[in-house]
Structure 1
């Protein structure tokens, strides 16, 4: 008992000594600093073209960051660009995020081209790994093959150069160009980055390496890895939608969020080639179901593929002229089956189908080459020609053939008269004895042809003349 009392006294003495020492170091009225564990950091990967699947993946990632009470969201990016609508949705999510967002162009060899440049400018912190680059933010329709080059920037009062467009096409190009410039400049001014170079990236498709981007103040810093990035941004103050936030990221726990199956599926089906193929499978499945009612399999597969394909097309920039050409091509190919040979309708249908697929998507809706590939278009056109013209033509030719089963098979057959009297008698057809009638006189032993059947009585006539 005495030993326990001595031990308790010693423990209390040690605690009192430590408290006194801490009080002496901090001074009267000062609290003892307690180092709390930093909030976790959520890392999301943006790889490849930006589309609907990318936007859905970031939406899930931002929700996970809020649930984890993250202190920073890092978008590790390597993209050539993507859909304009998806890019604007991502930028709006970044601007409205209460959690700071850092865009990190990595690994070495990665790029933040076109739409990636806009996202980098919108981020609270922009960083790049050595060996990466960004820029080339010119709208894709401005640089499309065969399109005139965008007009250079001019001061008010300057006259356009000779041959410079001033019509409707030129006005539309200037409208698109000026809108893109204003959008990127506004993001640059919001984040305090180089607005002059932002305009060059749009008007002249300018690009910068990582070192040049840091020197030109297009990005905030260079970092060799995510851990290096977190060390370098620790203690920085950024302004979010809910006010200023001071980052505490050194030694923070890193959570890498993988895209869900739904985001992966959206990324696959919203690929122009996949959506186009799904649409064709849907059309073929429904056609086969009409040809062979009751199978259920082709119709079920066709309806599912058609719904998924239309869902994918509904979130992509469609060109109504391309859709109309596709439908016209299918109609002409179907009409060709009702005409002998492979003629004008078939050739026109294949041509309309290829051109419709080529212009199915509106280039103004993306800043990359967003279209159905030529191999897919040619394969689909050849398949349409073979299936629609060949199969429908075969079905019509089969319909025109003589019936070889049932009661109708007797029509057109030849037989021999066995007995005959007063327009009635018996004949032998296919080794069977039938009752027969005829309007023209016939004699036993002559050959007759069956014209029609009435129950068990055949109506016949002499060869060369049907009854």
Structure 2
């Protein structure tokens, strides 16, 4: 039995640039959005390729989808090289715009010594990729020989040759032209469902992706990823070696974020960021400083929330309950931010208390906090306040001292005479 879409909608999502971590989230979310409308999904491709494991996740999402997925290389001048070609081969309908190219799917590896990409020729890597693309072509009724040559010989085709050699099904000038040409086509999904397309005058819904997908994609870019890791490690090193410990959680957060580009789950990264952010907030609240830890903690927790998976309204969780959870999260974040801000306000108010005038300190008694040699400075405690002091004679830690003069923020001290 063939089922026709009851609602005249089409969801469109774009894959532009490299296929890195986060693109798999984008496609997964777009498929879920299309399934919510029981509408076909059009994946617009313009990519130089990307990571194989991400590509395999996207292929799996397409093959397990309950709606048709149409791959479309667009606009004029666009291409779907390498991983982009594999994704195109996985779609139920493959289409290209005039002036576009596909193919050149031989895997490569980055050589850090030369800064160049080198082709991989090992059979243990090549053969599985050939097997994947050949199976996709066979399942979709396309040219298996040409599909293999994309990997084995770096074959590339323009839209006319791709159509001629039965690699794609449609050449269309625009998305509207594509939807007009595939209207009423019958598609058999990998799930066994028969689906008749109803794309004439369809309402096009552009899906732009969640914050989670965008953040993961940006951070997974090799350049951004390397910068985050390098800056994070440097902050941790200088924080520890220089005694600037409040900066260490920030450095750790950047290093953990950079792990997104190494294939670590965004959920795991979120939990680690929440943990570090919570520790930073706790330290800031119980041992108030300059607010660096508080700001770092709130920032890391906010990023971790953004990396959490998007809840699908069509799942077991209702839209109203999802909205309630969202506002609860916002309220908790605002409460933490407000409380930290209040603590910082109190700390700043204390730091801005008017300093003692010179006359009020001269003659005051205090206790040495450090061993201070004559002519050098250290810290003393006067009435519960720490002061930097210049010793006019050797002073040992714990000795009672008396202030004899004051120059700017530094007091001059001698040992107090025993009574």
TM-score range with shorter-chain normalisation? 0.5 to 0.7
Superposition TM-score, scaled by structure 1 size: 0.53
- Find the partner of 1:208 among 120, 138, 157: 157
- Find the partner of 2:100 among 114, 125, 132: 132
Distance 1:148 1:120, change over 3 A: closer
Could you say what secondary structure the match of 1:198 adopts? helix
**What is aligned with 1:46?**
15
Q: Is the CA contact (8 Å cut-off) linking 2:108 and 2:120 kept in structure 1?
A: no
Unaligned runs of 5+ in 2: 266-370, 377-391, 395-414
**What is aligned with 1:57?**
26
| Deviation of 1:231 (Å) | 0.8
**What is aligned with 2:262?**
313
Distance 1:292 1:308, change over 3 A: same
**What is aligned with 2:216?**
266
**What is aligned with 1:75?**
43
| Deviation of 1:51 (Å) | 1.2
Query: Take 1:52 and 1:142, find their aligned partners in 2: how far apart are those partners?
Result: 17
Could you say what secondary structure the match of 1:234 adopts? coil
**What is aligned with 1:288?**
238
Could you say what secondary structure the match of 1:230 adopts? helix
| 1:158-205, Cα deviation, whole Å (9 max, x unpaired) | xxxxxxxxxxxxxxx122222221111111100000001111111110
**What is aligned with 2:185?**
236
- Find the partner of 1:99 among 67, 70, 73: 67
The aligned runs of 1:286-435 (5 Å cut-off) are 286-293=236-243, 295-315=244-264, 406-407=372-373
Instruction: Detail structure 1 runs of 4+ shifted over 3 Å in the superposition.
Output: 35-38, 141-150
For this pair of structures, how many residues does the alignment match? Answer: 269
Q: Is the CA contact (8 Å cut-off) linking 1:42 and 1:257 kept in structure 2?
A: yes
Q: Is the CA contact (8 Å cut-off) linking 2:71 and 2:88 kept in structure 1?
A: yes
Superposition TM-score, scaled by structure 2 size: 0.59
| Deviation of 1:138 (Å) | 0.9
**What is aligned with 1:217?**
166
Q: Is the CA contact (8 Å cut-off) linking 2:21 and 2:260 kept in structure 1?
A: no
Distance 1:75 1:433, change over 3 A: closer
| Deviation of 1:140 (Å) | 1.3
Which of 304-313 and 131-140 deviates more? 304-313
From the CA coordinates, give the structure whose radius of gyration is larger.
1
| Deviation of 1:83 (Å) | 0.5
Could you say what secondary structure the match of 2:22 adopts? helix
Query: Take 2:104 and 2:206, find their aligned partners in 1: how far apart are those partners?
Result: 29
| 1:408-462, Cα deviation, whole Å (9 max, x unpaired) | 669xxxxxxxxxxxxxxxxxxxxx999xxxxxxxxxxxxxxxxxxxx99xxxxxx
**What is aligned with 2:198?**
248
Query: Take 1:276 and 1:141, find their aligned partners in 2: how far apart are those partners?
Result: 17
Q: Is the CA contact (8 Å cut-off) linking 2:107 and 2:119 kept in structure 1?
A: no
- Find the partner of 1:66 among 35, 51, 55: 35
Could you say what secondary structure the match of 1:41 adopts? strand
Q: Is the CA contact (8 Å cut-off) linking 2:375 and 2:393 kept in structure 1?
A: no
**Within the alignment, does 1:119 sit opposite 2:119 as a pair?**
no
| Deviation of 1:149 (Å) | 8.4
Q: Is the CA contact (8 Å cut-off) linking 2:13 and 2:43 kept in structure 1?
A: yes
| 1:277-308, Cα deviation, whole Å (9 max, x unpaired) | 21122222222222343x45422321221221
| Deviation of 1:314 (Å) | 4.1
| Deviation of 1:64 (Å) | 1.2
| Deviation of 1:37 (Å) | 6.4
**What is aligned with 1:199?**
148
Query: Take 1:53 and 1:223, find their aligned partners in 2: how far apart are those partners?
Result: 28
Q: Is the CA contact (8 Å cut-off) linking 1:38 and 1:250 kept in structure 2?
A: no
**What is aligned with 2:356?**
none
| Deviation of 1:263 (Å) | 1.5
Query: Take 1:433 and 1:38, find their aligned partners in 2: how far apart are those partners?
Result: 90
Query: Take 2:393 and 2:44, find their aligned partners in 1: how far apart are those partners?
Result: 89
Aligned-CA RMSD value:
2.9
**What is aligned with 2:339?**
none
Query: Take 1:213 and 1:85, find their aligned partners in 2: how far apart are those partners?
Result: 26
Could you say what secondary structure the match of 2:228 adopts? helix
Q: Is the CA contact (8 Å cut-off) linking 1:38 and 1:251 kept in structure 2?
A: no
